[in-house]
Amino acid sequence: MEKETVINWFQQLQDNICTALENADGKATFQEDKWEREGGGGGHSRVIDGGNVIEKGGVNFSAVYGKTPEKISKKLNVPEGNFLATGVSIVLHPENPLVPIIHMNVRYFEMEGNNGEKTNWFGGGIDLTPHYVVDEDAKYFHTQLKNACDKHDAEYYPKFKHWADEYFYIKHRKETRGIGGIFFDRLTADENHSIEDRFAFVQDVGNTFAPIYTYFMNKNKVLPFTDQHKNWQMLRRGRYVEFNLVWDKGTKFGLDTDGRTESILMSLPPVANWKYNHQPETGSEERATLEKLKKGVDWLNV
Q: How many CB atoms lie within 10 A of CB 37?
A: 17
Q: What is the pLDDT of residue 80?
A: 77
**103 part of the active site:** yes
Give 124's pLDDT tier (boundaries 50, 70, 90): very high
Q: Please write the tens of the pLDDT for every residue from 53-108.
A: 999 999 999 999 998 877 777 776 777 788 999 999 999 999 999 999 999 999 99
Mean pLDDT of 21-25: 98
Residue 84 phi, psi (nearest 5) = -135, 130
Which residues fall within 8 angstroms of residue 159, CB to CB, at 6 or more apart?
Answer: 184
Choosing from 103, 131, 142, 172, the catalytic residue is 103
Q: What is the pLDDT of residue 117?
A: 79
| Residues 92, 97, 100, 106, Cα dihedral to 10° | 20
∠ at Cα 95 (89, 99), nearest 5°?
75
Which is more confident, 258 or 230? 230
Q: Please write the tens of the pLDDT for every residue from 96-122.
A: 999 999 999 999 999 887 777 788 999
